Amino acid sequence: MRTFTTAALTAALSIAVGFSQTIPASEALHHVGERTTVCGQIAGERTAANSRGTPTFINLDQAYPHEVFTAVVWQEHRTSVGALPASGSVCVTGAITEYHGIPQIQLLDRHSWYVPSLSDSNHYTNSDGVKVHSPAYSSGGVPAPATAQCRDGTYSFSQHRSGTCSHHGGVDHWL
């Protein structure tokens, strides 16, 4: 029953925010030409002012596995794409292209990206008396302060390893 509930919640979150499944950069090169969603922390932005078309490259750092993926905004699409956040997590959706062995997704409009959110806003007080976010599902990518992903797919924000993901099937991997 727990597996069905987890799968149903994951599917519902995917449908709600309009993406299928996020993939790591290393797998993206096997999916050139396919439409997908990639999430990560904004690691940097650079505009190629001397390049024809003046593209802006936004590097997304994927915490697990630690890889970098690049989103590209061409000058002609900047207005329709809108302002992306300067930091934090972001997910980009589009067809994967490759440039010198680096996977990219070109952003075309405001619907090409979103800031992932958590499935709830519950918190608990840990053994140090610190308020910590309870394990939650993410609508895409690893949430910035997460420390582990649990076996049921939720992300933990635990500040101590002891007891992490204890009600969520245990730790799948540490971030």
The model's pTM = 0.64
Q: Does residue 12 fall inside a structural domain?
A: no
Please give the Cα distance from 170 to 153 (Å, whole number): 10
Residue 49 lies in a domain: yes
Question: Could you report the per-residue pLDDT of 100-150, keeping only the tens digit for each?
Answer: 877 899 999 999 998 888 998 999 999 899 999 999 998 877 776 789 999
Pairing mode of beta strands 123-125, 113-114:
unpaired
DSSP 8-class letter at 102: E
pLDDT tens profile 52-70 = 778 888 888 765 556 778 8
Residues 142, 78, single domain; the answer is no
Total domains, the chain: 2
CATH of the domain at 74: 2.40.50.140
Residues 62, 145, single domain; the answer is no
Residues 72 and 50 both lie in one domain? yes
Question: Does residue 122 share a domain with residue 110?
Answer: no
Give me the mean pLDDT over the 28-51 stretch. Answer: 83
Domain that holds residue 79: 22-114
**Shared domain check, 108 and 29:** yes
27 and 46 housed in the same domain: yes
Nearest Cα residue to 20 out of 2, 38, 41, 33 = 38
37 or 132, higher pLDDT: 132
Domain assignment present for 8? no
Same domain, 95 and 53: yes
In a domain, 30, yes or no: yes
Residue 38 φ then ψ, to 5°: -130, 135
Instruction: Name the 3-class secondary structure at 5.
Output: helix
- The answer on 27 and 90 residing in a single domain is yes
Q: Is the pLDDT of residue 165 over 90?
A: yes
